[in-house]
Structure 1
């Protein structure tokens, strides 16, 4: 089979999460899709997908290969659009959506670069922790945290974040540090309701549920973090939301060894927008930005060391 066809088939299977969905998307038979991916795996000499009777999941190497394939296919499609005259200078309005804190911290810098590079372009960005329907609400592109359920969207993974528990040093000094998720029931808990619809907090690689009853529930991540900083209890947040506070010493991480698996961060847009010069410019700018400024994993956080003068005191 043609190598480009096998790459497009692999990407479709990974995005759809099934050979049947990919075959419908590509308008080929499931047997052809299965054979194309098998041929690709044979050529590479490794497994890209883990197959079960119910689902198809990427292997670790498959995830790495998917990201490279998506970039390659995006660049190839861009070349096709350019030669057909579709790669016009971005202009008019680009409507974006992103989570509130992530948008402020990590998407605004992308928008700043985009506006500086394209004077004829304007951006309207809606910050909300509610996942909006892109087509129904007229959104050209969005940044999403978490697994994507809408298979009609094109996605570019730009990083990962983790769910973490944090508390102030003062709270830990007064109440102690829980040594296991089960011990959280004896602590004051703060919940950000958009991070989960139930009171089940999940821990570990297998995401084992622990049912807890928070005393303070908020609909704002910023408010939950502020409450934790004021010593009201242990808050459950996403890692990027509290990185600055942890590095500054205002918060400390709790039960890091029990953290659930990372959450993907993706730039998404409807397939019919793939030829849009505005969307294409945003996707390229976002990809370059997160390559230059990757989202650091919690394990890589390094609080600033005290100066030599302060240490001698």
Structure 2
């Protein structure tokens, strides 16, 4: 007797609460269903069902066995799906979302490589500086920067980023370099914010031990555009704070330099998140494999 098939028959009888209904659902004869349940009870050595002229009810052993059957059958389905998906050629549309600048700098190049590698795939890359509900909006995959809230989403860590304070070398030559967070009071600050709310910048103390310093610099210039603020800083107007990946190309070419590095706050993680867990379709798994390989090797996201 095929034990897994017998379990499927038992689960259907329990759910339908009848042999005849289960037989119709399974396209089997009632006699075959009855015989399968009898063989199963013989193997287990316990009665699973109590059958009357009108109803079928489970015994206590039958109730426990039903839960075990459902769990084992779900595991079997997962194994079969994973095995089948491992060799399936990705096809269809893949929807991805990411923060605007991170997506432009780090995700878009991966999408291009992915489409070259899988010619049956199409991709939709949507860039927003907000948290997108990927389940409600039907998105396959998202990049999340920051600590994740507890959720049912599956997450794969790909790196981390820091908040860095930057200015142009010419600005620091002219005004001086802040040595401690309190020195920011003597500098021009550009804030990337859409409101006039007070800035609260958190730093670590030199002594460590989890102690924090919070300062509220007076930002004479506020904008909701990272690009506009960064351009003004590169031109020598003042200082701004941004994420390390947003500053990295300009630090490399000498346009910007960081200050207060010894007081830098703790890094925040970067994850890929998706809703399907281990049941993710081939198109999602294949993109994750490529993205993880590329992003984890990126020193901007994985330097100490």
TM-score tier, shorter chain, comes to 0.5 to 0.7
Aligned partner (choices 201, 214, 223) of residue 219 of structure 2: 214
Note if contact 1:159-1:294 (Cα within 8 Å) is conserved in structure 2: no
Q: Provide the residue aligned with 2:296 in structure 1.
A: 291
Q: Secondary structure at the match of 2:218?
A: coil
Alpha-carbon distance in structure 1 between the residues aligned to 2:102 and 2:184: 27
Map 1:87-126 onto structure 2 (within 5 A): 88-126=88-126
1:169 pairs with 2:169: yes
How large is the RMSD of aligned CA atoms in angstroms? Answer: 2.5
2:259 is aligned, of 233, 241, 254, to: 254
- Which sits farther off after the overlay, 163-172 or 282-291? 282-291
Contact 1:81-1:275 within 8 A present in 2 as well:
no
Counterpart residue number, 2:3 = none
Cα deviation code 1:262-299 (max 9, x no counterpart) = 11111111136842222111111111112343435666
Matches within 5 A, 1:97-246: 97-193=97-193, 199-204=199-204, 206-246=211-251
For 1:281 and 1:90, how far apart are their aligned partners in 2? 7
CA distance 1:171–1:298, shift in 2 (3 Å): farther
On the 8 A contact 2:110/2:291 being kept in 1, the answer is: yes
Structure having the higher Rg: 2
Instruction: Indicate if the aligned counterparts of 2:82 and 2:279 stay in contact, CA closer than 8 A.
Output: no
What does 1:251-290 align with in structure 2 at a 5 Å threshold?
251-271=256-276, 274-290=279-295
- Structure 2 match to 1:81: 81
CA distance in 1, matches of 2:109, 2:78: 24
SS of corresponding position for 2:219 = coil
Residue matched to 1:14: none
Secondary structure of the equivalent of 2:274? strand
SS at match of 1:191: strand
TM-score, length-normalised on structure 2?
0.67
Instruction: Quote how far apart the aligned CAs of 1:192 are.
Output: 1.7
SS state of the match for residue 268, structure 1?
A: strand
**Partner SS for 1:215:** strand
Q: CA deviation at 1:82?
A: 3.7
Indicate conservation of the 8 Å contact 1:96/1:141, yes or no.
yes
Following TM superposition, by how much is the alpha carbon of 1:123 offset from its aligned partner in structure 2, in angstroms? 0.6
Alpha-carbon distance, 1:81 to partner? 2.7
- Residue 231 and residue 154 in structure 1: after superposition, are their counterparts in 2 closer, same or farther (change >3 A)? same
Unaligned stretches of 5+ residues in structure 2: 1-76, 205-209
Distance in 2, matches of 1:206 and 1:131, equals 29
Q: Is the 8 A contact 1:167 1:253 kept in 2?
A: yes
Distance 1:85 1:241 in 2: 36
Contact 2:248-2:300 at 8 Å conserved across structures: no
Unaligned runs of 5+ in 1: 1-76, 300-313
* Aligned mates of 1:281, 1:164 — CA distance in 2: 33
